[in-house]
A and B are shown apart, each in its own frame.
Chain A
């Protein structure tokens, strides 16, 4: 069955028809051409498809598109400014070696963003807990955790603390 949904996607209001059996991941990639969000396992094990719905990180591969009506969706495409300036988290992943092949990065960064929206000074344990549902097969996690820690105000000494607004939109 088809239905009309209205939602905010990276700050833009979207009204469209969707099919009941579409997942949010399918909607983003195949219908809206937003290829930043990746499909890894397709069963909620790997976190590559992580996006933020309202305030929550969710696996978009298991989230039905029919459920986004009236909600606010944030994807990796919504982080950088329109002039191409990277979000501090993205910049930190680049600078700290948190990216190798890059397939897990959008999901990792969205999980980290959901954490930092709620808790601007997470401990290393809290970062690990928040990223436990995101699998990386390249870097070995250390650099990823360092990348997240570097944008917190309790991050490594010597790394500049970057102030950023959680509601910043392109």
Chain B
């Protein structure tokens, strides 16, 4: 592997000043499951790797009881999310997704922040967080900034972070009562595979447990960046949700999707599957609300 100097800052400020002083010769690294592969393949050739792993403030996973907000540090690994009983019980959509990212070995090391910063269209971590209306917090020479996660992605491999900026935290606003959520990674096999499609649905129902007060539909590999099917969301809002409504929402979402042909699957098939899986995840939400 190409030689580099490995720097281990203990704070975000120290990391940023290291990055500023080495400029384009430096690259941040977190879990490294993508960065090291890219260095081995010669796609990246930094002289300095700045590790964010030892900045303990980025490593926290906690629900703030006062605000009801969930805080996920960017350095939290997929394994920590998979094993968290808070995530499994309150945010099953996220548990569904992280459980099938990579393998145990990858999940033990790879971070949720790294998954988002990579900005691949198939990012399994991003879709459920988008359905949860997550925000990203980032920090750099300009200070602290915040943005809706859906606006974080600019294109395949492209995000809004500017030079030396670090993604620090993902925050999820409080859930409404009677909320169910579910995600499916659809592909030939679950582990060690990029999905053909990723579909996440979140539904919040009124006290009558019938009428939808909020719907979120996140789609992965359905466009150059993770997307929301907003027309389908609007269609569901205010309606009494049953199987027919979920089917119709699936059809609308399929129309909205901007799927294309790729090595893993063709566009028409992806479009059909958006329709099927949005319906299926919608019904799974209802089931999970009943089980609350």
Contacts and interface: CB of A to CB of B under 8 A. Distances in A.
A74 B2 CA distance: 27
B189 to A, nearest CB: 8
Interface string A94-121: 0000000000000000010011000000
B213 interface: no
Interface stretch (B100-108, B195-203, B276-284): B100-108
B37 interface: yes
B240 interface: no
Contacts of A66: 6, 8, 51
Nearest to B3: A21
A59 B104 CA distance: 9
Interface residues of A, number: 31
B4 A43 contact: no
Given A1-B6, A56-B79, A67 B105 contact: no
Contacts of A20: 3-6, 49
A66 B103 CA distance: 23
B109 interface: yes
B223 interface: no
A133 B78 CA distance: 14
Given A1-B5, A133-B191, A62 B37 contact: yes
A135 B36 CA distance: 20
A27 interface: no
Contacts of B105: 44, 47, 50, 57-59, 111, 133
Contact of A133 (B6, B8, B37, B104): B104
A57 B192 CA distance: 15
Interface in A36-93: 42-45, 47, 50, 56-59, 62-64, 66-67
Nearest to B189: A132
Contacts of B36: 23, 62, 64
B192 A132 contact: yes
Contacts of A15: none
Nearest to B103: A133
B40 interface: yes
B263 interface: no
Contacts of B40: 42-43
**Most chain A CB neighbours (cut-off 10 Å) among B51, B79, B104, B190:** B104
Given A21-B2, A56-B79, A114 B37 contact: no
Nearest to B53: A67
A66 B49 CA distance: 11
Contacts of B292: none
Given A20-B5, A43-B37, A62-B37, A133 B102 contact: yes
The residue in A3, A21, A23, A111 that gathers the most chain B C-beta atoms within 10 A of its C-beta is A21
A1 B8 CA distance: 13
Contact of A56 (B51, B108, B192): B108
A56 B191 CA distance: 18
B106 to A, nearest CB: 6
Given A44-B33, A47-B103, A58 B6 contact: no
- Top 8 nearest A-B pairs by Cβ distance? A133-B103, A132-B191, A20-B6, A56-B108, A1-B5, A59-B105, A66-B6, A62-B36
15 contacts: A1-B5, A20-B5, A23-B36, A44-B37, A44-B105, A47-B103, A57-B104, A57-B108, A58-B108, A64-B6, A64-B36, A66-B8, A111-B105, A130-B104, A133-B106
Interface of B: 1-6, 8, 32-33, 36-37, 40-41, 49, 51, 53, 79, 99, 102-106, 108-109, 190-192
Given A47-B105, A56-B108, A111-B104, 14 more contacts: A1-B6, A20-B3, A20-B49, A21-B2, A21-B3, A42-B40, A44-B106, A56-B79, A57-B104, A57-B105, A59-B106, A62-B36, A130-B104, A135-B192
Interface of A: 1, 3, 19-23, 42-45, 47, 50, 56-59, 62-64, 66-67, 111, 114-115, 129-130, 132-135
